[in-house]
Each structure stands twice: as C-alpha cells, then as structure tokens.
Amino acid sequence: MKIHGDFGPIDHVNCVDGVKTFTGCLLLSIETQQTIGYGTRSVTEQCSSGLILLVVQTCFGLILQSLWVGIVYTKLIRPKKRRHTLLWSRQAVISLRDKYLTLQVRLGEIRSQSILLDAQIRMYFISRRITQEGEIIPLDLLDMNVGFDTGRDCLLLVWPLVIEHRIDSKSPLWSLDREKLTSADFELLVVFEGVIESTGLLTQTRHSYIPDDIVWGARFEPMLRNDPDAPLTIDYSKFDALYCDTCTKPCSANEL
C-alpha cells in the first residue's frame, strides 16, 4: 500500500479500499481468510502486488487449516481405543474338530453399533531355535495357518468367533502331545487387524498365550442363544467358559 502511494493524495485510487492503519490490514487479513466480507475493506484492481498477496494468503491459510483439522481429527477419534472393545479368551484349547487336532482361541466384539471392515487374523509361533550351523535364534517367529488357504482368516466379527489352527504336518505343534505341553517353552501370538467403519483407520489388537494358558482336551462353551420368542442373544458370561472334550486323546497330531 505504501509503495503504491495509498497514503498520498486524497483523489488517488487506492490498492486496498478502507485500510489506512495496521489494524485495518489485520482486519482485512482476517476477513479474507474467514470469508467474512463486511464490505468496507477490499482489494482493488490498481496493483498486482495486492492480488498476488491475497492469493498467497488464501492458499497458505487453506493449507494451515487443513493441517489443524487433520491434527484435531486424529486426536479426537483415537483409533487405539477401538481395540479395547475386542476381547480375547483367557485360555486357548486343543481339541478335535472334524477329525483333526486343532488349536482354538476365542475372539469377541462387545461393541454392536459398528463393525470392523477387512478384518484379518494371524497367528505366530515364537520359540528358541538352533540352526544347522549352530546359530542360536532366541526368538524365532513362525507363521501358523489359521485358514489362509481357505479364506477363513478374513473375519466378519458380528458375534464371537473361535479362531482355529489345524495342527498338520506343517504346524510347529505337529509332534506336541499333552505331556510335552506341560514342559514346552514357546509363545503363541495372535494378531487381529481391522478397519474402523466410521473413520476408515486401521486398528490392531494382539494377545499371547504360553503353554500354561493352553488347555488340552477342552472346548469353548456356546455363547449364542436362539430362543423362539426372542432374537438371537449373546451370553458374554460364558466367553471364557470351557467344558471337557472326551473325544480328544492325549497323543500328538502326528500319532493320531
């Protein structure tokens, strides 16, 4: 404004109308950024520098507002809290299912208003391993199949589900029986991931089981109750409940 001579003669056409002081410049900046437009201050066509400055401020202000909205939005939605609505069974079980020895854990969702999209489950076997060259790997991570070949690892968690790992020749539990389980040294890590329906953000929950948390020859109590005069209900009081399975022998899957 000073370069254009707006503070000169009275009959001079100003670069910015209605602005004579620093306070007026500040009010013009706020009105431009917030699109208030009271009408007393405006940029004219007399100088290109004013137009360029107006465009620069508008672009910079939009970028700054977008950054603030993203920061506030991320802090408010808190995707980490979503995993607290997911429940893991305190114990895992090993029992027969469809004539195969299987390792089973239960996963539940206590929030019924929204579901997790693209939900997937993974399971890992963590133990100490010695290579053929004598190298000691204290924490060796081995992937365990929970239905990747059949698509059962993709979950629709609208009611509590039992996650199943079939103990076959490729499983690290192939030669494990009930007696060896008591003295075994390993850890099972189960990882669940899903996309929050309302925000599109990814949430993850993990749980681990050691041999003391695995019950041989047991099954999970059914939780779903379908009464003729009532809709399908879920009894979460039986989430960790087990009952004895007399069909499961104490021998390993290799010996069956």
Domain ranges of the chain: 16-77, 80-255
Q: What is the mean pLDDT of residues 33-45?
A: 70
Over residues 131-159, the pLDDT tens digits come to 888 899 999 999 999 988 888 889 888 88
Dist. CA 255–CA 245, nearest whole Å: 18
Instruction: Say what the pLDDT of residue 241 is.
Output: 93
pTM above 0.75, yes or no: no
CATH architecture of the domain covering 16-77? Orthogonal Bundle (1.10)
Q: What is the mean pLDDT of residues 232-245?
A: 89
By CB neighbour count within 10 A (0-12 exposed, 13-18 middle, 19+ buried), where does 103 fall?
A: buried
* 49 phi-psi bin (left φ>0, alpha ψ -120 to 50, beta other): alpha
User: Looking at the domain that runs over 80-255, which CATH code has it been given?
Assistant: 2.60.40.1400
Instruction: Say what the pLDDT of residue 85 is.
Output: 83
